[in-house]
Amino acid sequence: MSLTKQPNLLERPVDIGVPAPKRSLRLIDAIALIVGLVIGAGIFETPALVAANVESQTAVLQVWLVGGIISLMGALCYAELATAYPHVGGSYNYLKRAFGQPIAFLFAWARMTVIQTGSIALLSFVFGDYASQLFRLGAFSPSIYAALAIVLLTALNILGLKHSKRMQTWLTMTTVLGLLLVIGIGLTLAPPPPVPPTLTAPASNSWGLALVFVLLSYGGWNEAAYISAEIKNYQRNIVRSLLWGIGIITVIYFLINLAYLKGLGVAGMAQSQAVAADLMRRALGEPGSVLISLLVAACTLDSVNATIFTGARTNYALGQDASRFQFLGLWQERPSTPTAAYLLQGAIALALIILGTLTRNGFETMVDYTAPIFWFFFLLSSLSLLVLRVRDPDQPRPFRVPLYPVLPLLFCAACGYLLYSSLVYTGIGAIVGVGVVALGLPLMQGHR
């Protein structure tokens, strides 16, 4: 199957007789992608950190609800952008329109080398850690599992949209059903916590820090912007997929924290190194820890597959505009995939697996590596809504964010706070991430 260089999608329609993205994603496919992107390892790691920073059961539940509300505000902003400017490049397109090609190029470079590939590596390390609990493959077992996940899921996506979306739907269904099983077991079978249900003096009573961890667990819904050119009836389904996706996620997060609280209490959650495993161990004994390992492995594969799927779309959009990367602007028609973009993304993610293996602290290294860059460009993408309302007032907007400009400004403030927090709390990995993005500055002169 031949690969063809595509015209600039901002200047010409996509249905001009050459390979290009097709509108073949249904509403259920989009919801599955959003839920799969968001519900990953975070909900098994961050609840203990949240509990260590609040003083009561009520506060634990409140901070998770507030995280859902902030995510909903952001989703409404992205829904307007995605329906007004449907494009396979997502935020790349918004930044290009609002701030110009140089900023858009730098974002695409950052997403290709740090944000998306770092997220793929991070999630793959989590998969490797839990898969190794089930069957170990030697001294470097987590890294081997992580690399295998990247290779196999990248290959699946290259085979075509039909295969990747089917896998995504099944993985998401498995994840949601598994989480509902944990919720049911925790609420009905777990004995009362062995310690008082509240802490008299939490180690660090900080709602702000707790919210940082909560929003890390909610992260990923913005990836819906990258399927706006491939979803059917995008004027309605983008908004509906975001609202349904975040609604499902918020309910699941609230209920699973309720189960954690019932079985462990705030003190038990705060002291736990693996809160879900401790809950299941109390309810079912050691078989419960095996069950949770299987569930976490499924959740992380779900997120890895969705992240691979959306990440390649920005690389494809970059290839449309930057002559140095024109080989990425190739769309394979019959399976409907940006094959070259997938291959480059997979190669960079594998290189980051090697980096994480060398540091012997893969997950934490990837968190530090990605967080500041992610929140910086998330803030710029949110600001682009305000800029484009002024610069492009005649653009048809099938959906307009309510309470404009209050909601966009509130969400921008939240992004700014998380950018600050990510710089304060991250380590040397953040310096490496910033350095890699800086390497893209000389290449900006090569775009057309």
* Contact present, 204 and 277 (Cβ < 8 Å): no
Helix H or strand E encompassing 330: strand 330-332
The reported pLDDT for the residue numbered 198 is: 45
3-state class (DSSP) for residue 19: coil
Residue 359, classified by CB atoms within 10 Å of its CB into exposed (0-12), middle (13-18) or buried (19+), is middle
The reported pLDDT for the residue numbered 99 is: 93
How is residue 322 annotated by DSSP? Answer: B
3-state class (DSSP) for residue 4: strand
Peptide bond into 86 cis (omega under 30): no
Helix H or strand E encompassing 246: helix 234-271
Q: What whole-number distance in Å separates Cα of residue 298 and Cα of residue 179?
A: 11
- Phi, psi dihedral angles at 155 (to 5 degrees): -60, -40
* Contact present, 194 and 282 (Cβ < 8 Å): no
Report the DSSP beta bridge partners of residue 231: 25
Q: Where are the domains of the chain?
A: 18-446
Q: What is the sign, positive or negative, of the torsion defined by CA atoms of 346, 119, 139, 134?
A: negative
The reported pLDDT for the residue numbered 336 is: 63
* Contact present, 408 and 385 (Cβ < 8 Å): yes
Q: What whole-number distance in Å separates Cα of residue 376 and Cα of residue 214?
A: 18
Q: Which two tokens stand for residue 258?
A: 């309720």
CATH number of 18-446: 1.20.1740.10
* Contact present, 313 and 134 (Cβ < 8 Å): no
Q: Which two tokens stand for residue 119?
A: 């997220």
Residue closest to 121 by CA, chosen among 340, 362, 439: 362
Q: What is the sign, positive or negative, of the torsion defined by CA atoms of 71, 75, 81, 87?
A: positive
Which stretches of the chain score pLDDT less than 70? 1-24, 40-42, 88, 160-168, 194-205, 223-230, 234-235, 273-274, 322, 329, 331-336, 360, 362, 425-428, 444-448
Q: What whole-number distance in Å separates Cα of residue 261 and Cα of residue 25?
A: 38
The reported pLDDT for the residue numbered 4 is: 36
The amino acid occupying position 253 is: Y
Q: Which two tokens stand for residue 40?
A: 């990953």
**Tens-digit pLDDT profile for residues 294-306:** 888 877 887 788 7
* Contact present, 32 and 169 (Cβ < 8 Å): yes
Residue closest to 208 by CA, chosen among 320, 346, 49: 49
The reported pLDDT for the residue numbered 255 is: 93
How is residue 323 annotated by DSSP? Answer: G
**Tens-digit pLDDT profile for residues 244-297:** 888 999 999 999 999 999 888 888 888 876 687 788 888 888 787 788 878 888
Q: What whole-number distance in Å separates Cα of residue 46 and Cα of residue 52?
A: 10
Q: How many CB atoms lie within 10 A of CB 223?
A: 25
Report the DSSP beta bridge partners of residue 4: 331
* Contact present, 91 and 377 (Cβ < 8 Å): yes
Sequence-distant (≥ 6) Cβ neighbours of residue 213 within 8 angstroms: 46, 49, 50, 53
Q: In sequence order, which ranges of 135-229 are alpha helices (DSSP H)?
A: 141-159, 161-188, 207-218
